[in-house]
Amino acid sequence: MKAKCPACLLNRIYQECRLVTDDERLTNKIIQESIEIIADEFRKGEINAVASTRVHRVVYSMLGNDDPYKRLKMRANQESLKILPFVVKLVEKRDTFKNAVKASIIGNSFDYGVLDHDVNDSNFRDYFQMEFEKELVIDHTSEIKHLCRGKVVYIADNAGEIVFDRLLVEEIKKAGGFVSFVVRAKPVLSDATAEDAKIAGIDRVADEILTNGKGAIGIMEEELPDITRERMEQADIIISKGMANYECLSESRYKNIAFLLKAKCEPVASDIGVNVGDMVAMLK
């Protein structure tokens, strides 16, 4: 956790409360409890995504709501499906693998609650086209494509974004890869679950759909099902989407991890060595 992480996390929690309740007393109680948990995690130097997972499990319990983002996730999926034919045409213009990577990264913009980041879901087609014209600041797509001919573990991030992940999964299958697609085991933030994967048609293109165990924000090693851990250990490459997965896996023991993300906050951007807003396809 960096200095800005607690403020961002508290802001997200406040926004979640607003999505669910008008009860100021309950909101105050949740914020108070969250401050104590976050302070403890910050002192321990915990990974931000892990700390966020722990505090959100308490917040959801206090709210009595296991999916505060349900409406926003439905909207994100609908907006993405609406412009999918337009995106397919963009992807097919030149290098389809690289373009599919870029499309999946632009989809990573569907991340509700990040401080100083706005989701442009009301005019996403124009936003998508504008972003598509930009270059990847870190571009390891050729090396990533080469490794995608083998066993691939694809760790998804957000709803909405997952619609464009399908395009990249299709390209990986064309390259000859076996794709194990990993989603959250249950709703958390705006992250994609098995339900979102079916809406996006991932079940029709990936070889299997797995979960991260208990619905952590990112990957918590101790919660992974045996089959997911086994696939990650045997993978020729792991495709890791988004910032939370980067936070959990950037210093992990797994080999060949491709981090595909839009750097939406200062701590992650700084750690990677790019600017906020930059698009990254980085192989480590």
Q: What distance in Å separates the CA atoms of residue 132 and residue 90, rounded to the nearest whole number? A: 8
The kind and range of the H/E element at 12 are helix 5-20
Single pTM value for the model: 0.94
Residues 100, 214 within the same domain: yes
Using the predicted structure, report yes or no on whether residue 111 has a pLDDT greater than 90: no
* Residues 66, 60 contacting (CB under 8 angstroms): yes
Residue-wise over 82-92: b if at least 16 C-beta within 10 A, else e?
ebbeebbebbe
> So what's the pLDDT on residue 191?
95
> So what's the pLDDT on residue 94?
86
pLDDT band at 120 (very low <50, low <70, confident <90, very high): low
Residues 170, 268 within the same domain: yes
> So what's the pLDDT on residue 114?
55
Residues 45, 115 within the same domain: no
Question: pLDDT digits over 200-238, tens only?
Answer: 999 999 999 999 999 999 999 999 999 999 999 999 999
Give the residues across from 259 on adjacent strands: 240, 282
Residues 105, 238 within the same domain: yes
- Measured from the Cβ of residue 94, the count of other Cβ atoms closer than 10 Å reads 8
User: What's the CATH number where 16 sits?
Assistant: 1.10.8.380
Q: Which two tokens stand for residue 169?
A: 């999964």
Residue-wise over 55-64: b if at least 16 C-beta within 10 A, else e?
bbbebbebbe
Report the number of distinct structural domains present in the chain.
Answer: 2
Domain coverage including residue 156: 70-283
The kind and range of the H/E element at 104 are helix 96-107
Question: pLDDT digits over 153-175, tens only?
Answer: 999 999 999 999 999 999 999 99
Written as one letter, the residue type at 274 is V
pLDDT band at 280 (very low <50, low <70, confident <90, very high): very high
> So what's the pLDDT on residue 107?
93
Dihedral through CA 48, CA 50, CA 52, CA 53, nearest 10? Answer: 170
> What percent of the chain is modeled with pLDDT above 70?
96
Query: Over the chain, what is the mean pLDDT?
Result: 94
Residues 84, 222 within the same domain: yes
